[in-house]
Amino acid sequence: MNIDQVTLVGQVFESYVSEYHKNDILLILKERDEDAHYPVVVNAMTLFETNMEIGEYFNVFPNEVLTIFDSALQRSALTILQSLSQPEGVSMKQNLHARISGSKALSWKYSTIYEGYPGR
């Protein structure tokens, strides 16, 4: 993937999880274990409807896109954490992972993608 594609995927996913998964991220930020791995399960169809290019990139570069998703998820969590007026009892987590669900067309790739991928 080129830098423009990486930037697009990251920005779209960060915006998506900030809008659709803010509560999931807040619950994770409230967890005490900072070293645990925390999944955020994202519905593929909803995400890909937001931006069809993301689905195309995911089909062609699944491992790279998941890595970009994880980085975007970290940025979104940091933004949410910084926006809290009373951040007591919350902390940034370093092991946030995007999990994609709900796409039968892509399900054959998941077992390959998740094997050997930290936190999956």
Of 64, 91, 65, nearest to 77 (Cα)?
91
Instruction: Give SS3 for 73.
Output: helix
Question: pLDDT at position 109, please?
Answer: 52
* pLDDT per residue as tens digits for the range 19-44: 999 999 999 999 999 999 999 999 99
For residue 10, the Cα-to-chain-centroid distance in whole angstroms is 9
* pLDDT per residue as tens digits for the range 42-68: 999 899 999 999 999 998 999 999 999
- Residue 76 in contact with residue 26, Cβ under 8 Å? no
Question: pLDDT at position 111, please?
Answer: 45
Domains of the chain plus CATH, in order, are: 3-114 (3.30.1640.10)
- Residue 26 in contact with residue 96, Cβ under 8 Å? no
How far apart CA 60 and CA 6 sit, in angstroms, is: 13
Mean pLDDT, residues 79-106 taken together: 86
